[in-house]
Amino acid sequence: MIYLQLLYVYLKIGFFGFGGGYAMLSLIQNEIVVQNHWLTNAQLADIIAISQMTPGPIAINSATYIGYTVTGNIWGSMLATIAVCLPSLTIMLAVTRFYLKLQHNKYVTGAMGGMQPMVIGMIVAAALILLTPDTFIDWKSWVIFGLCFVFSVLKVNPILLIVASGVVGIMLY
Amino acid sequence: MENEKRQGVMWWQLFTSFFKIGVFTFGGGYAMIPLIEREVIDRRGWVERQQFLELLTLAQSAPGPISLNTSVFVGYRMDGYRGAFASILGVVIPSFVIILLIAMFFTEIRHNHVVEAAFKGMRPAVVALIVAPIMGLAKGMGWKRILLALVAAVVVWKLSVSPILFILLGAVGGILWTFLHTKREKR
């Protein structure tokens, strides 16, 4: 049953999506591209690009988009979106009530400290997984990558970089 | 009283504020923090600046997108469960509607030559945007932890192991490390 599967996958993504944003990407990739084959790597890269240009976090955007494409209707889209929000909602409600106590608990701090390098590792993994022949088609792709990297380190607005790369793509290909 | 009537009830204020945040937070993640700050601290005065810093640490430590976590926290503080629901709906609805529309129509234009060319240009840009903040994040980490991060990255990349495993390993490892350290101190 595709709806149950969507629900399960996005609950998992919501529950284990530590580090937010890019750190959640490798988890999304693993579930959506590797395990369920709902999208190809290039299609996922397209959603990330769309997500950069539209409001909202990538996790929610991907849930809405994939929920729709996988089921072909709005209900699937809604289900996946709600599923990815549920863990945030319940965990934050629980944590908000005890947060002062939890904050200074050394085991909580320890667990967070242990997860930190993993979260960074998952961001690196997300980038490595996207380095495939269907996203980097030729040397021009590498030039775009290099320029965007430099501009991004120089704190140029990411939306501007995505739009500019799109325009360059239209001119080149 | 007058003031309250003009601005509406609390859950509605929460909804509209977070709806606004939801509409204008392009790119998500850390890009939206200044916007939330302006709305929640400066404009509404719901949270104090010191408390906001604590809230950010919390929102980053809990799983899920930071904007969602922040909305639940502020909403619950201001108006209990009703506030939490109103806030989270406010953040989610704008992005839900926009992406749904894109999903419905993108499939039709996706094989258009110009659209395809634009995405060919954007895909490597996406990878660059993911790579760029890594060095900043790794700053201040010792070489052992950097090595750990790299090993985790390569295993997830090459062997397609689920990232969930590494998140769990990190948490358990951190707890064990704290436990062993405390024991040693006691002796």
A154 and A76 belong to one structural domain: no
One-letter amino acid at A31 equals E
Sign of torsion over alpha carbons B100, B106, B107, B108: positive
pLDDT mean across residues, chain A: 89
A151 and A113 belong to one structural domain: no
Indicate if the pLDDT at residue B35 is higher than 90. no
Q: Say if residues B152 and A121 touch (Cβ distance below 8 Å).
A: yes
A34 and A73 belong to one structural domain: yes
Judge residue A118's burial from the number of C-beta atoms within 10 Å of its C-beta, 0-12 exposed, 13-18 middle, 19 or more buried. Answer: buried
What's the pLDDT score for residue A32? Answer: 93
B110 and B144 belong to one structural domain: no
Chain B contact set for A127 (CB, 8 A): 127, 130-131, 134
B44 and B76 belong to one structural domain: yes
DSSP state of B26: B
Phi, psi of B9 (to 5 degrees): -70, 165
B33 and B64 belong to one structural domain: yes
The fraction of chain B above a pLDDT of 70, given in percent, is: 91
A127 and A140 belong to one structural domain: no
| Domain end among B132, B150, B170 | B132
B121 and B153 belong to one structural domain: no
ipTM of predicted complex = 0.85
Indicate if the pLDDT at residue B7 is higher than 70. no
DSSP state of A53: H
What's the pLDDT score for residue B32? Answer: 74
Cβ distance of B156 and A18 shorter than 8 Å: no
Look up residue B145 and give its two tokens: 């932890």
Indicate if the pLDDT at residue B5 is higher than 50. no
A95 and A143 belong to one structural domain: no
A121 and A155 belong to one structural domain: no
Top-ranked range on mean pLDDT: pick from A25-39, A94-108, B3-17: A25-39
B120 and B77 belong to one structural domain: yes
Interchain CB contacts (distance < 8 Å): A and B: 363
A120 and A173 belong to one structural domain: no
Q: CA B167, B172, B175, B177: dihedral to nearest 10 degrees?
A: -100
Domain count along chain A = 2
One-letter amino acid at A157 equals N
A125 and A52 belong to one structural domain: yes
Judge residue A133's burial from the number of C-beta atoms within 10 Å of its C-beta, 0-12 exposed, 13-18 middle, 19 or more buried. Answer: exposed
What's the pLDDT score for residue B172? Answer: 93
Q: Which positions 51-110 of A are in contact with B (Cβ < 8 Å)?
A: 51-61, 64-65, 68-69, 74, 77-78, 81, 84-85, 87-89, 91-93, 95-96, 99, 103, 106-107, 109-110
CA atoms lying within 13 Å on the CB side of residue A32? 29
The whole domain housing B69 covers: 2-132
B125 and B158 belong to one structural domain: no
Distance of alpha carbon B93 from the chain centroid: 16
- The Cα A161–Cα B11 span in angstroms is 37
Chain A contact set for B148 (CB, 8 A): 117-118, 121
A45 and A81 belong to one structural domain: yes
CA atoms lying within 13 Å on the CB side of residue B99? 37
B120 and B80 belong to one structural domain: yes
Nearest to B21 by CA among B10, B8, B36, B33: B36
A112 and A150 belong to one structural domain: no
End-to-end Cα spacing for chain A: 40
- The Cα A93–Cα B77 span in angstroms is 10
pLDDT (tens digit per residue) in B140-153: 788 888 999 999 99
What's the pLDDT score for residue B101? Answer: 93
SS3 content of chain A, % helix, strand, coil (to 5): 80, 0, 15
A75 and A59 belong to one structural domain: yes
What's the pLDDT score for residue B2? Answer: 43
B58 and B94 belong to one structural domain: yes
Q: Say if residues B76 and B83 touch (Cβ distance below 8 Å).
A: yes
Look up residue A114 and give its two tokens: 């242990």
What's the pLDDT score for residue A148? Answer: 93
B69 and B150 belong to one structural domain: no
B100 and B35 belong to one structural domain: yes
Indicate if the pLDDT at residue B31 is higher than 80. no
- What SS3 state is found at A55? strand
Q: Say if residues B29 and A20 touch (Cβ distance below 8 Å).
A: yes
Q: How far is A7 from chain B (nearest CA, A)?
A: 15
Distance of alpha carbon B171 from the chain centroid: 19
Domain count along chain B = 2
pLDDT mean across residues, chain B: 85
Location of structure tokens 């998140």: B167
Indicate if the pLDDT at residue B181 is higher than 90. no
Location of structure tokens 């707890």: B175
- Among B24, B79, B96, pick the best mutation site for testing chain A contact (most A Cβ within 10 A): B96
Look up residue A146 and give its two tokens: 């290099």
Indicate if the pLDDT at residue B95 is higher than 80. yes
- The Cα B47–Cα A90 span in angstroms is 21
The whole domain housing A12 covers: 2-133
- Among A15, A32, A100, A115, pick the best mutation site for testing chain B contact (most B Cβ within 10 A): A115
